[in-house]
Structure 1
Amino acid sequence: MSWFNRVRNSLGFTDEKKSTEKDLWIKCSNCQEMLFVAEYEENLSVCPRCEHHGRIGADARLKLLLDEGFDLLPLPQVTEDPLKFKDSKRYTDRLKAARAKNPHDDAFVVGSGEIDGKPAVVGVQDFGFMGGSMGMAVGMAFCAGAERALRRKAAFVVVTAAGGARMQEGILSLMQMPRATVMTRRLKAAGLPYIVVLTDPTTGGVTASYAMLGDVQIAEPGALIGFAGQRVIQDTIREQLPEGFQRAEYLHKHGMVDMVVHRRDLKATLASVLDYMQPPKTGSKAA
């Protein structure tokens, strides 16, 4: 190593350059274009070249959909690691690692506020926390969000993103499917809108329960939505699947999704849907 390189490395120039490049650029996972991080985030984590919708965290999603001043519901307390599960790592270690990388203690976060002045409770599933997997904490948080909507007589909007049930909790994770389904029935009985926004990816037990039970089903462009994986389906039916199978546009074409909405238009679309679905307040001219 030359004298110049030794001096440069000792002053940290190389590390600073690597850090700067990492902070300034991001590669689109769809078109592989290198994008300025600032431009990408300003565009709501949507690629300005190919319109690919990247994944965003729960906090960013709540800020995108709810008006300022919304409240975060506390995450319900559940028994952690009820099965004392261990595969290549202990479940408790996996939870610690996930919490170290995320601002919240589990994969479902609920905000209570308004969407363009219309009362709403919004639950967001964060794929960044263990793939958004549905365990007891997610099920409890979903039910708590529905309860808040019932008390406020407000709409319940759920943004899904999950790989399915959390295997480390076994049957206890699968029990969240009927629990969440019961809460959607309670919302329906109360005449309150239950709206689902399907984002990439929404699969497994989440799709088989509350993700497909909305009064209105909205999906982001290109979102993967399904129960089993394409390879499993293809091997089972022994047929080639059509192009775009399990993507939002395919499901919309075949009647499984009501509309596909760009992220920049999502809040305005939800506000319009709520304006149509929510009953007018008692005493108003509309009433």
Structure 2
Amino acid sequence: MNWITNYVRPKISSLLATREVPENLWIKCPETGEMVFHKDLEANQWVVPSSGFHMRIRARDRLKAFFDDGAFETIELPKVAVDPLKFRDSKRYVERLKEYKAKAEMDDAVLAARGSLEGVPVMAIVQDFAFMGGSLGMAAGEAIIKGFETAIAERRPVVLFAASGGARMQEGILSLMQLPRTTVAVEMLKEAGLPYMVVLTNPTAGGVSASYAMLGDVHIAEPGAVIGFAGARVIEQTIREKLPEGFQRAEYLMAHGMVDMVVHRHELRSTIANLLKLLTRQPAEALEEEAIAAEPVEAMGAEPAEAPESQAAG
């Protein structure tokens, strides 16, 4: 009886039991509706292989894909007051923060990390849309400013990956104050003579697009990213006109001069590395040597060669 109870019955129950399938085992492409195995998507930097649709990517995954050998060191970020306005909507702001911290495994929406990109020392600042839509609050603002200050102290260029719906409403005016504060940090970096590059990802909107996200030396956008201040529907209702096809998409903004280039996620590393090397003048000596070697003899001080008779006559 014990053998049947302890062995046979559990075996039968396990065979008949419904196995739970993880919700994120297969992910649907928003563009084509194709189901993609999450491991394949992760291995492809969260870009759908068939359609090329760029899914949102977590901050740490972004840093691993960006830095050499996936090695980076996050910097310690300042602590800020939690829920200074004692805000409450459907639930208390403190409770909402706890939920997102547990879910996103981050203290707030921004990570700042130092590392190298093809040998170039870089400070990367990444917004994570998974944490309250990447909204900009006091903690996120302090993280961005700390990243800039550390970059200035260590003489590193800054690459910022923007992904945000805008300012965080639960912090009111304290959130909006981060817009001028981060703008000042950008100006400090430029005064130090260090490059600042911005990668605009899907989406970059609200106050973020009206401050530090549009103050870079070079603006790169991922394909299909939505970039703008107000939403398309709000604009249409305000101006009472139909907006053009693809309005606020990365490709539309590049065609109208708001973005310098649209770059596939797989090519971001090499593109940014080449730009940083040019902006920091790292290859200048090598380029100068190549230019000298390629100069014609007469440019080096020798007598110019005589022109052919046909040219001299003319």
Q: Same fold (TM over 0.5)?
A: yes
* Alpha-carbon shift at residue 28 of structure 1 (Å): 1.1
C-alpha displacement of 1:12:
6.9
Structure 2 matches for 1:1-287, cutoff 5 A?
10-11=13-14, 14-16=17-19, 18-19=20-21, 22=23, 24-68=25-69, 69-280=71-282
Aligned equivalents of 1:15 and 1:188: distance in 2?
A: 60
Find the aligned partners of 1:198 and 1:284 in 2 and give their Cα distance. 32
The one-letter amino acid paired with 2:165 is G
Cα drift, residue 280 of structure 1: 4.1
One-letter amino acid of the counterpart of residue 85, structure 2: L
The answer on whether the counterparts of 1:8 and 1:14 sit within 8 Å (CA) in structure 2 is: no
Q: Report the Cα distance in structure 1 between the residues aligned to 2:31 and 2:11, rounded to whole angstroms.
A: 37
Give, in angstroms, the shift of residue 9 of structure 1: 9.2
Asked if the contact 1:85–1:168 (Cα under 8 Å) also holds between the matched residues in 2, the reply is: yes
Aligned mates of 2:16, 2:30 — CA distance in 1: 29
Q: Deviations over 1:144-192 (max 9, x none)?
A: 0001110111101100000100000000000000000001111111110
User: With CA pairs under 8 Å and 6+ residues apart, which has the higher RCO, 1 or 2?
Assistant: 1
What percentage of residue pairs aligned between the two structures are identical? 55
1:79–1:19 distance in 2 versus 1, CA, 3 Å: same
The 1-side partners of 2:24 and 2:17 are apart by 14
**Alignment length (residue pairs):** 280
Shift of 1:75: 2.5
C-alpha spacing 1:273/1:285, structure 2 compared with 1 (3 Å)? closer
Counterparts of 2:81 and 2:88, CA distance in 1 = 16
Matches of 2:111 and 2:189 in 1, distance apart?
A: 19
Amino acid at match of 1:259: M
| Other-structure match for 1:3 | none
Counterpart Cα distance in 1 of 2:125 and 2:186: 13
The one-letter code of the counterpart of 2:230 is A
Give 1:24 deviation, angstroms: 3.6
**Whole-angstrom CA distance in 1 between matches of 2:16 and 2:175:** 49
Query: 1:45 Cα deviation (Å)?
Result: 0.6
Mark the runs of 5 or more structure 1 residues left unpaired by the alignment. Answer: 1-5
Task: Work out whether residues 224 and 246 of structure 1, in 8 Å CA contact, stay in contact via their aligned partners in 2.
Answer: yes
Deviation at 1:43, TM superposition (A): 1.1
Q: Which runs of 4+ in 1 moved over 3 A?
A: 6-10, 12-15, 283-286
Determine the C-alpha separation between the residues in 1 that align with 2:12 and 2:280: 63
TM-score normalised by structure 2 residue count: 0.84
Cα distance between partner residues in 2 of 1:13 and 1:101: 32
- Say if 1:270 and 1:12 are closer, same or farther in 2 by CA, change over 3 A: farther
Larger radius of gyration: 2
Q: Distance in 2 between matches of 1:12 and 1:169?
A: 52
Aligned partner letter, 2:255: K
> Secondary structure at the residue paired with 2:123?
strand
